[in-house]
Structure 1
């Protein structure tokens, strides 16, 4: 049996402080693992490197990367990690960048922080 669960969007609370959302996501990852499941890797994760490779077989994965000459590409682990780097507001150059700067989640977060 497969069950796909996706959590998207934001609330007024989570746009200002994403840590509770991250904590809940981590709890879901832990529960899925405890129940014998594996999180689908279509989204970001909060696994540490050790946690990730204890769930996914690194030797098999690395063998496939070698077989298909993909060592130069980022690993799956690198692709799904949530960046802890602070994000900057987008520059406003051109029409679509102007729209994005006014309507994006980051713009709303910046607007609330400066209000």
Structure 2
């Protein structure tokens, strides 16, 4: 028996999970956006798309605070592992393609310079 997974659920970009993790750490949209070097509206839109994919809010937003919901708390360890695994893949690829710096050797022959 095979499970059918909705294609929308398969399309969760790694950068969105990274945004989610940073916002979960900062609990402030402007601070998280600054840390991510993106505009706050871009962060807000990415989180809204993730919440739409999940099907429920991941953050409670008030005029004074941002807090993780129960669903956000449950997602956070999975998102962190995914972001870490992605970083491991990038590091592995980088190590496979890194070549040691070429060595340049220069020799000098001093003829007639004496003893």
When normalised by structure 1's length, the TM-score is 0.28
Task: From the CA coordinates, give the structure whose radius of gyration is larger.
Answer: 2
Query: If each structure's helix is expressed as a fraction of its own residues, which one has the higher value?
Result: 2
